[in-house]
Amino acid sequence: MTSTQDAAIPVAATGTHLPAPGSEWWRTAVIYQIYPRSFADANGDGLGDLPGITAHLGALADLGVDAVWLSPFMVSPQNDAGYDVADYCDVDPIFGTLADFDEMLATAHGLGIRVIVDLVPNHSSDQHRWFQEALASAPGSPERARYIFRDGRGEHGDLPPNNWESVFGGPMWDRITEPDGTPGQWYLHIFDSSQPDFDWTNEEVREEFRRILRFWLDRGVDGFRVDVAHGLMKKDGLPDYTPPADGDSMGGEDDDVPYWGQPEVHEIYRDWHEVLAAYDGDRALCAEAWLPTPDKTALWVRPDEMNQAFNFPYAMTDWNAPALRLVISESLRAFSAVGAPSTWVLSNHDVIRHASRLALTGESPQGEGIGPLSVAQPIPELGLRRARAASTVMLALPGSAYVYQGEELGLPEVIDIPDAARQDPTWFRTDHEKYGRDGCRVPIPWTAGSPASGFNDTGAAWLPQPAGWDDYARDVEARDPDSTLSLYRRLLAERRAHGLGSAPFTWIPGHRDDVLAFEVGDVTVIANVGTEPVELPAGSILVSSEPFEGRALPADTAVWLIPA
């Protein structure tokens, strides 16, 4: 077979990857996402909490992560699992108290682990004091001006102000009843109707978020993961927009989606950059911005804006060597061009876990999720094998990598959650047509043979754990040298020992098209993304995603080796 690999690599990405300026920790860090609801539950109520996190941070230090990012634990009615915040500067009692937070932070710092918290600036909960004040005030009042209220269309204003569709399904607008009991204005919500969008053209909103940033910075956090960082500014006049029928909610490469990635949004992050710069210790901002290309995503990490942006184009790439080569090359080129590290991510609380996603029998658009009646179903053994190989590739790449809780155990997506137990607003807003994201959010297993597999000691769990969860328990995997946990520990240790986060990267030409081959620092990475074995070059194998004998690398396997 002739090699077409070289042709697939954009010229700018071959050769040495330019070292990024500076040595700030976030340029190379492995950051572990804690989803507090499902990590560890100290009080046994079935929902994870801050004391549970504190008690288990030792396991993360042992894994070898540099930092943790905590999904929201602030006061919230939990309509969108905490991404609907009612008070940005306090802890929801279901997770604990501010004192619990301080203890967690001090424990993490004592273990050398930095802590990033989630900030949700696009929208609040409808239970936020400001939204309640807006409802009680008149149209045109300063209270309404903190959100996006508009009169409806049609003779009686009973049609929504435009045709935008919520990301969770249904219209992006809901109509309120005015304080005098008459049908009233409409308010915009990109997500659930209980998540009204702020109006970021309003200086009062901007000042409030500077205050919120400082509140957490003063407590000692190392940075923020910024929710929906591409959504805060809407196009002037809120024009109608119909997404392409086959497109996803990100929009295509050339689409101007009037609520995503509007140019004015960058002013906000330049302002926040200044807020963080007044603090010591390289505090970081990471953008959650679902954009279709690395070039578009890189706009969020220009030198005077944020520090990192999730690389979703990479996360959404199938297990396909040419596609992976292209997105890796494009990412290194696009992010280096603005002096930022690329990030790498395969799983989080919004996507199908990659141990299932990488071997599905059909398409499953992002956010729809999979359940018992989905056409696309995972092939479990193949999925896990590919996930281990994909993680072996990811953790060698220069830049910063994100690991979602449970992926280090090889957890699959949970498919058979009973309908009555489902919680994701997507499930309700689409009349049960789309399963949504519950399958990647099930409480994780710690100890086999214990209640709730060691998530707590009562056996309660806010989403039911499936049969067989004990097989993935951390204590079981810790004893098995071939487990996914043992693989991740080796990968993180060798990544650190060989300085891969900041090492020069070069593709190695001359391999089959379905093989990924690159050098990063003194390590050679070979991944067999095809079906036929690949003869390995001479050298000693440092880490392998699967045990195998001899020098023929089996299908769906990746190795790190030190060339002879």
Task: For residue 541, give the 3-state DSSP assignment.
Answer: strand
**Alpha carbons 339 and 16: distance in angstroms, whole number:** 15
SS3 string, 403-464, reads EECCHHHCCCCCCCCCHHHCCCHHHHHCCCCCCCCHHHCCCCCCCCCCHHHHCCCCCCCCCC
Cα of first residue to Cα of last residue in the chain, in angstroms, is: 26
Radius of gyration of the chain, Cα coordinates, nearest whole angstrom:
23
Is the Cβ of residue 51 or residue 436 nearer to ligand NOJ in the bound state?
436
Q: Other CB atoms closer than 10 Å to residue 470's CB: what's the count?
A: 16
CA distances from 13 to 78, 318, 345, 502, 529 (A): 43, 20, 20, 16, 21
Is the Cβ of residue 160 or residue 367 nearer to ligand NOJ in the bound state?
367
Enumerate the β-bridge partners of residue 116.
Answer: 69, 223
Taking CB under 6 A as the criterion, which residues in 63-82 touch ligand NOJ? 80
Task: For residue 22, give the 3-state DSSP assignment.
Answer: coil
**391 contacts: CB under 8 Å, gap ≥ 6:** 346, 354, 407, 487, 488, 491, 545
Report which secondary-structure segment, H or E, holds 105: helix 98-110
Amino acid, res. 372: P
Is the Cβ of residue 71 or residue 544 nearer to ligand NOJ in the bound state?
71
Rounded to the nearest angstrom, the gap between the alpha carbon of residue 193 and the centroid of all alpha carbons in its chain is 23
Taking CB under 6 A as the criterion, which residues in 149-168 touch ligand NOJ? none
Q: Tell me which residue has its CB nearest to ligand NOJ.
A: 83
CB of 436 to ligand NOJ, least distance (A): 9
Catalytic residue among 84, 222, 288, 350: 288
CB of 315 to ligand NOJ, least distance (A): 12
Is the Cβ of residue 41 or residue 288 nearer to ligand NOJ in the bound state?
288
Asked if 335 contacts 341 with a C-beta cutoff of 8 angstroms, the reply is yes
CB of 76 to ligand NOJ, least distance (A): 11
Phi-psi region of 364 (alpha: psi -120 to 50; beta: other; left: phi over 0): beta
Enumerate the β-bridge partners of residue 12.
Answer: none
Rounded to the nearest angstrom, the gap between the alpha carbon of residue 273 and the centroid of all alpha carbons in its chain is 21
Site string for ligand NOJ, 330-359 (x = CB under 6 A): -------------------xx---------
Catalytic residue among 66, 126, 192, 227: 227
**Alpha carbons 227 and 176: distance in angstroms, whole number:** 26
Taking CB under 6 A as the criterion, which residues in 191-250 touch ligand NOJ? 191, 227-228
Task: For residue 239, give the 3-state DSSP assignment.
Answer: coil
Q: Does 83 bind ligand NOJ (CB under 6 A)?
A: yes
Is the Cβ of residue 311 or residue 544 nearer to ligand NOJ in the bound state?
311
Q: What angle do CA 558, 559, 560 make, to 5 degrees?
A: 140
Give me the sheet containing 505-507, strands edge to edge. Answer: 505-507, 515-520, 523-528, 557-563, 539-544
CB of 268 to ligand NOJ, least distance (A): 16
**Alpha carbons 382 and 384: distance in angstroms, whole number:** 6
CB of 442 to ligand NOJ, least distance (A): 15
Asked if 42 contacts 453 with a C-beta cutoff of 8 angstroms, the reply is no
Is the Cβ of residue 223 or residue 554 nearer to ligand NOJ in the bound state?
223
Is the Cβ of residue 319 or residue 427 nearer to ligand NOJ in the bound state?
427
Amino acid, res. 226: V
CB of 423 to ligand NOJ, least distance (A): 12
Taking CB under 6 A as the criterion, which residues in 272-331 touch ligand NOJ? 288
CB of 225 to ligand NOJ, least distance (A): 9
Asked if 36 contacts 53 with a C-beta cutoff of 8 angstroms, the reply is yes
CB of 426 to ligand NOJ, least distance (A): 9
Helices (H) and strands (E) in the chain, counts: 15, 20
Rounded to the nearest angstrom, the gap between the alpha carbon of residue 83 and the centroid of all alpha carbons in its chain is 13
Enumerate the β-bridge partners of residue 159.
Answer: 153
Instruction: Return the residue of 30, 120, 301, 352 that touches ligand NOJ, per CB under 6 A.
Output: 120
Is the Cβ of residue 80 or residue 556 nearer to ligand NOJ in the bound state?
80
227 catalytic residue (yes or no): yes
Q: Does 463 bind ligand NOJ (CB under 6 A)?
A: no
535 catalytic residue (yes or no): no
Task: For residue 266, give the 3-state DSSP assignment.
Answer: helix
CB of 345 to ligand NOJ, least distance (A): 12
Is the Cβ of residue 83 or residue 560 nearer to ligand NOJ in the bound state?
83
Q: Does 469 bind ligand NOJ (CB under 6 A)?
A: no
Is the Cβ of residue 189 or residue 333 nearer to ligand NOJ in the bound state?
189
Number of residues that bind ligand NOJ (CB under 6 A): 9
CB of 196 to ligand NOJ, least distance (A): 12
Eight-class DSSP state of 34: E
Catalytic residues: 227, 288
Residues making contact with ligand NOJ (CB under 6 A): 80, 83, 120, 191, 227-228, 288, 349-350
